[in-house]
């Protein structure tokens, strides 16, 4: 038998083909070996005492020596190292995944807290903005009312001035009509030459008319 206890071997056939393990027992008479963790079987164990119950145990079954091949020490060490590297990579990935989850959770919590703070600030600022907006609306309403009142007063003053001008014209027209009426009443009492003389007299005395060949003298001294 070319292998011994402690050798690292590779399984060449069977359900555990291509697996590797360490020989923990040799059966030279049967040309078989027992490899750690290989060719596992279940065996019923009978109770040895009256009060003891039976059980089922798992154990390594022998494998014929032709189905195993010794693995060189260097290859075994490399394989072991490779296995350790793979395990380290798996562990590193698991650690990174856990760290990423924790980081994501912290970011979410931080974002949620920030949003709550922003919402609180917005809720605090919003009433102030609304109050300020109301003041602006009231201010604009007052300005609009004052502007409307000023325009109304100006229009009323213009209308009053126009009415006063119309009233003055009417009063002047009435005065002219009254004067004309007075003259007509006076003229009715004269006829013929008397009427002519009376009209000339009124024209000279009241209206300042001058007849042909006549001159007007003004007494500057007041005498």
Q: How far apart are CA 57 and CA 60, in angstroms?
A: 10
Q: How far apart are CA 23 and CA 32, in angstroms?
A: 10
Confidence (pLDDT) at 153: 93
Helix/strand/coil (H, E, C) string of 118-170?
HHHHHHHHHHHHHHHHHHHHHHHHHHHHHHHHHHHHHHHHHHHHHHHHHHHHH
Neighbours of 63 (CB within 10 A): 23
User: What is the Cα 212 distance to its own chain's centre?
Assistant: 101
CATH number of 1-71: 2.30.30.30
Confidence (pLDDT) at 212: 67
Backbone angles phi, psi at 46, to 5 degrees: -75, 150
C-beta of residue 43 within 8 angstroms of C-beta of residue 61: no
Domain extent listing, the chain: 1-71
C-beta of residue 36 within 8 angstroms of C-beta of residue 25: no
Interhelix angle 73-187/193-205, rounded to 10 degrees, is 130
Kindly report, residue by residue over 52-88, the tens digit of the pLDDT: 777 888 889 999 999 999 987 656 566 666 777 777 8
Q: Taking all residues of the chain, what is their mean pLDDT, rounded to a whole number? A: 80
Residue 185 has pLDDT above 90, yes or no: no
């Amino acid at each position: 038998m070319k292998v011994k206890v402690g050798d690292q071997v590779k399984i060449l056939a069977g359900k555990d083909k291509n697996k590797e393990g360490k020989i923990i027992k040799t059966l030279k008479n049967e040309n078989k070996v027992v490899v750690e963790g290989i060719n596992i079987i279940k065996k019923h164990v009978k109770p040895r005492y009256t009060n003891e119950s039976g059980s089922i145990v798992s154990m390594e079954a022998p494998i014929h020596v032709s189905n195993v091949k010794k693995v060189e020490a260097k290859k075994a060490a490399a394989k072991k190292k490779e296995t350790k590297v793979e395990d380290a990579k798996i562990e590193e990935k698991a650690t990174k995944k856990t760290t990423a989850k924790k980081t994501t959770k912290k970011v979410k919590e931080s974002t949620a807290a920030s949003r709550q703070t922003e919402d609180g600030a917005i809720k605090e600022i919003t009433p102030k903005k609304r109050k300020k907006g109301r003041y602006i609306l009231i201010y604009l309403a007052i300005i609009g009312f004052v502007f409307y009142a000023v325009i109304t007063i100006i229009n009323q003053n213009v209308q009053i001035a126009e009415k006063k001008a119309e009233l003055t014209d009417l009063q002047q027209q009435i005065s002219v009509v009254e004067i004309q009426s007075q003259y007509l009443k006076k003229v009715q009492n004269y006829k013929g030459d008397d009427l002519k003389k009376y009209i000339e007299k009124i024209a000279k005395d009241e209206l300042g008319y001058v007849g042909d060949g006549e001159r007007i003298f003004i007494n500057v001294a007041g005498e």
